[in-house]
Amino acid sequence: MIALWIILGIVVLAVIAGIVSYNRFVSQRNLIRNAWANIDTELRRRYDLIPNLVETVKGYAAHEREVFEEVARTRSAAAAATGSPQEQAAAEGPFVAALRQLFAVAENYPQLKANQNFLALQQELANTEDRIQASRRFYNNNVQAYNARIKQFPSMVIARMGSFTEEQFFEVEEAIRQAGAPRVDFGQGGGTGAPATTPPAAGAPAEPAPPASDPGSFTP
């Protein structure tokens, strides 16, 4: 009789552990989706800033038509990308490269760099870039924790039963990462030269950050 109660207790504990593990997977997945939504919001904010920035630069460098056309084309492609994080990153690469060209043009015009409208747009873009970086780190950190649990035993059993699959990191092409993102500081003291989308290494987030997923100590 005692053995029966022991077996029953083990079964109950296993069921409870499975439920807790499943619910944690759901919470982590929702956290990742919300984190990605935050990245998308910041990217859209940057897309909205670019047309005004281009128009301001045009006032001083109207002959740089090819640069403006490339920015417009790649911006449209990036804004239209609604797929996976990897697909979004692939669209971001050419856009970031086009922005570098735009800022390279702007550096040749001292009067433009002193234009108050340009300085305001520069500062807003710098702030947006900072928020993109923070959102990306938060997202990648949660993806790392989630993917690690999917590979661990016994949580991997619950992951398979619940059809929980690995999520993608938000990365940028290697060439774009090595070349760097557009500078937004022209020595006016208002902007910060933060890169737009400095990516993590392949398959891992770029910088370590405090765990942002479920802080519970139980990891079935």
Helix axes 65-80, 2-58, angle to 10 degrees: 160
CA distance 46 to 102: 14
Domain-wise residue ranges, the chain:
2-179
| Each residue's pLDDT tens digit, 160-185 | 999 999 999 997 544 333 444 444 44
Nearest to 42 by CA among 17, 8, 84, 79: 79
- When computed from its CA atoms, the radius of gyration of the chain, rounded to whole angstroms, is 23
Instruction: Give the rounded percent of residues in the chain with a pLDDT score beyond 90.
Output: 40
Nearest to 66 by CA among 123, 93, 92, 104: 104
- Tell me what the pLDDT averaged over the chain comes to: 80
Instruction: Tell me the whole-structure pTM to 2 decimals.
Output: 0.73
pLDDT at 172: 59
Residue 18 CA: distances (Å) to CA of 24, 85, 153, 157, 219 = 10, 30, 12, 9, 10
Of 41-55, 116-130, 136-150, 187-201, the range with the lowest mean pLDDT is 187-201
Query: For residues 199 and 88, is the Cβ–Cβ distance under 8 A?
Result: no
Instruction: Give the rounded percent of residues in the chain with a pLDDT score beyond 70.
Output: 78
Superfamily name and number for 2-179: LemA-like domain (1.20.1440.20)
| Each residue's pLDDT tens digit, 125-159 | 888 888 988 899 999 999 999 999 999 998 999 99
Could you tell me which residues come within 8 angstroms of residue 107 by beta carbon, excluding any fewer than 6 positions away? Answer: 113, 186
Query: For residues 220 and 160, is the Cβ–Cβ distance under 8 A?
Result: no
